[in-house]
Amino acid sequence: MAATKTNALHALTAAALALPGMSAKAAASDYQAKTDIQYGHYRESDDRISVDIYQGMTVLPISQSLELQGSWVIDSFSGATPVLTLPASVAQTSSGASGISGVDGDKTVSGGEQAVQVMTGASTRETRYGVDIGLSYFLDNLSFHASGKRSEEPDYLSHGYHVGVDWDFNRKLNTLSLGFGQNFDRVEPTTRPLSEEKNEYQIQLGLSQILGKKSLFRLSAGYTHGSGYLSNPYKKVFIQGLDTDHNLQDGGFNHVFYENRPDKRDQWSVSLGYIRYFSALDSALHLDYRYFTDSWDIASHTFEAVYHQPLAEDWMLIPRLRYYSQNQARFYRDFYTTPRKDHHYSSDFRLAGFGVLSGGIKLSREWRHANKLTESIKLEAGFEYSAHAAALQLGGQTASELTDFNYVLFSGAIKIKF
């Protein structure tokens, strides 16, 4: 039984050693081939948006010190999304899919007016394809990682790479990780003649510390710099009183223009994690916190607790609770009653102030040495429910209830080790 508990602890803490965005593995290959195939279904309340997610991962050892990794993802998206927020008093309604036929340009609006959302005129359908291929090289106390990726949608193309190194020291009780990556993206929306580029680079640093036989602590920090076209090419804004001295593109209605975000963005994050193993229950509790801030004046907090509880032989129950809160970007408004001096505008609800409370559960069953070809086969099934609301923001509500909706995520996976 002692050996079983030790193996369980190793399995549970292995995932915790992976720092966000980095491959923080132990500096040794286990020389084992493995493959995972997963499916997820995301759906928002009122059936507004649904996404089917198919993804897979394969690890192939080439030698005792060299490992090849590959992953792929296919996202199939459908539904209507909000593209514009208007003062209710100027919205001219219709019976169409979006519910808006025009904007009354003669009315003067005030900042306290009720707002309404304008949705895409028809259900949008598109699919994203992504692939990532990497190599890892392992020495006694060091491991090196390099990968390249490509993601393609009908209106978006992204290429990128990542390199990293992990160093085990202090009798392998500590792991120091450093990573660097770049992305090169091009956006060409299907609804307007536009072709723009944006670039991004990331630097990540992490440290993990085994505190004893039953606990582990981790700390990581990251910095990301983005430049180029950082706006959403489909989102529009209502701006009252804008004169002709601007370079915003007309949005098709009175006082409506395509959004314009700053062309640079700096992002910083710090993450803390702690794992505690409970020998009496043969279980482990994962606690994580992440702080994020950026040059657009967004700041967010993420708290997460995940509990791993073995049940009967080879069964595992994993409940999860997560809370997220962010304040709004400095240039975000539902609509604009006066122009901004910097001409930065966005009514995208993802830049608003809101909170998200999520709860989920996952159940897995593993079969060891089920046949001569595999060492283990694991099946997983999960469910998660999330409430996204302005009233859930830390420090009080700063956005309208237009940001309020709920969503669910169903998931399933098969994981095979050879």
Question: What are the tens digits of pLDDT across the range 312-358?
Answer: 889 999 999 999 999 999 999 999 999 999 999 999 999 999 999 99
pLDDT band at 372 (very low <50, low <70, confident <90, very high): confident
Please report the pLDDT score of residue 31 as a whole number.
76
pLDDT band at 397 (very low <50, low <70, confident <90, very high): low
Gap between the Cα atoms of 27 and 367, Å rounded: 28
Please report the pLDDT score of residue 191 as a whole number.
87
- Say if residue 16's pLDDT is above 60: no
Q: Who's near 60: CB < 8 A, 6+ residues apart? A: 33, 67, 68, 69, 70
Please report the pLDDT score of residue 356 as a whole number.
97
- Say if residue 245's pLDDT is above 90: no
pLDDT band at 13 (very low <50, low <70, confident <90, very high): very low
Looking at residue 47, its amino acid is D
Gap between the Cα atoms of 412 and 270, Å rounded: 30
- Say if residue 247's pLDDT is above 90: no
Please report the pLDDT score of residue 29 as a whole number.
61
- Say if residue 291's pLDDT is above 60: yes
- Say if residue 214's pLDDT is above 70: yes
| Number of residues assigned to the chain | 418
Four-residue CA torsion sign, 418, 379, 412, 292: negative
Give the H/E segment covering residue 7.
helix 2-16
Distance of CA 209 to the CA centre of its chain: 26
Q: Indicate the pTM of the whole model.
A: 0.89
Alpha-carbon distances, residue 304 vs 266, 291, 341 (angstroms): 25, 12, 39
Domain that holds residue 101: 2-417
Please give the full DSSP string across 73-122, using - where no structure is assigned.
Answer: EEEEEEE--EEEEEETTTEEE-SSSSSEEEE-TT----TTS-EEEEE-SS
Arithmetic mean of pLDDT over the chain: 88
pLDDT single digits (tens) 67-92:
999 999 999 999 888 899 998 888 77
Please report the pLDDT score of residue 285 as a whole number.
97
Among candidate residues 235, 38, 17, 221, the one with its CA nearest the CA of residue 119: 235
Average pLDDT over residues 137-163: 96
Which CATH number belongs to the domain containing residue 84 in this structure?
Answer: 2.40.160.40
Please report the pLDDT score of residue 26 as a whole number.
45
Burial-class residue 81 by CB neighbours within 10 Å (0-12, 13-18, 19+): middle
Is residue 295 within 8 Å of 265, Cβ to Cβ? yes
Please report the pLDDT score of residue 122 as a whole number.
60
- Say if residue 94's pLDDT is above 80: no
Average pLDDT over residues 254-259: 93
pLDDT band at 118 (very low <50, low <70, confident <90, very high): confident
**Domain count of the fold of the chain:** 1
